[in-house]
Structure 1
Amino acid sequence: MSIDVNNESGTEVDEEAILDVARFALARMRIHPLSELSVIVVDEAAMEQLHMQWMDLPGPTDVMSFPMDELRPPGKDDEEPPPGLLGDIVLCPEVARKQGLDAPTGHSMDEELQLLTVHGVLHLLGYDHEEPDEKAEMFGLQAAIIDDWRAEHGVTGPSPAPTTR
């Protein structure tokens, strides 16, 4: 899996954890190991600009996903999908910090960025949360991936609760 993390935010983030959780999520979703993903970490001003440009919504947001090849996870009996360009995930650590502090379980900016990375991966793979049934499926899958990743890394304590919109 080729994953690039480019931090343009000026805020120190745990890039290794972002890389690792993205790789874990893609493997869990059975995405071809030669697929490519880009993760870009930006400041609030850059995120606000992207949010307005692409969603026509004011203010910065936590995560945005820009799919390229529209890859989808294979079904249980499907063959391995071909490699491709997944696209870009854009993260905003300032928004992540605020959301982590405001979350019911209260967690760090880096824990929130890990959650948002998985959220972004799922969006790239076609998952959405506009409808209640879609939200239940996506957030359930997101929680399972984060919980399994945390368990594999010996992280104890409550998992970050979903804080994305």
Structure 2
Amino acid sequence: MTLSLEWNDEQDALEIGEPLISLLDGLLKLAAEAEDIDHGEVVLSFVDDEAIRQLNREYRNIDKATDVLSFSMLESGEGEPEIVYEDGGEEDGEEAEGSDEEWDEEVEEYPEPLGDIVISVERAIEQAAEYGHSVEREIGFLFVHGFLHLIGYDHGDEEAERVMFAKQEAVLDKAGLRR
């Protein structure tokens, strides 16, 4: 299983350290296991409200801060160019040159990018206080929420929201991050 979490910190509201990253890495593994995902890379950025507001405006045409944004690499929009890999194969399943063993080594070395998750730490701190739980639990919730969006879940209607939120809570409960 090759599943990795890469992260960067562009905010000053909370010191992001190894305990939180370790927690999020564990949540990633739990959420991925629940969804039968065994490889991929998630890039996580911690930002302030102003940075996430700019991203929200640029990519969603909503000019206000939000708590989490997800940018999936598994979805392709209309008019986007087809991805062509170095070996000449295409993403539609065309066989790559070389042996299965060589291909497995490449996958191990370069995990498939699942996408980017951006969390506003300012918003997470405010929401943790509002909901009466820890900042770690709130960031964990936002991270799992963002991950589920990366792999195709949404909450556009009541049923989809019920399913997505149940999956989030199951992962958080398994990690011991209850409300």
| TM-score (normalizing by structure 2) | 0.72
Aligned residues: percent identity?
35
Give the distance between the partners of 1:124 and 1:101, measured in 2 at CA: 27
Correspondences of 1:65-80 after superposition (within 5 Å): 65-70=70-75
Instruction: Count matched residues.
Output: 139
Could you tell me which runs of 5 or more consecutive residues in structure 2 were left unpaired when the two chains were aligned.
76-106
- Secondary structure in structure 1 of the residue aligned to 2:37: coil
Does residue 112 of structure 1 match 2:115? Answer: no
User: Greater CA radius of gyration, 1 or 2?
Assistant: 2
- 1:47 lines up with 2:55 in the alignment: no
Higher relative contact order by CA 8 Å / sep ≥ 6: 1 or 2?
2
Note the C-alpha offset of 1:149: 1.5
Give 1:94-109 correspondences, 5 Å limit. 94-103=122-131, 106-109=132-135
CA-based RMSD of the aligned residues comes to 1.6
Match of 1:64 among 63, 69, 82: 69
Tell me if 1:141 matches 2:147: no
Q: Which runs of 5+ in 1 are unaligned?
A: 71-81, 161-165
Identify the range of structure 1 (8-17 vs 56-65) with the bigger mean alpha-carbon deviation: 8-17
Q: Distance in 2 between matches of 1:18 and 1:6?
A: 13
For 1:75, the equivalent position in structure 2 comes to none
Relative to the length of structure 1, the TM-score reads: 0.78
The reply to whether residue 85 of structure 1 matches residue 120 of structure 2 is no
CA apart distance, 1:15: 2.3
Q: Offset of 1:121 from its aligned partner?
A: 0.6
Higher deviation after alignment, 10-19 or 138-147: 10-19
Deviant stretches of 4+, over 6 Å: none
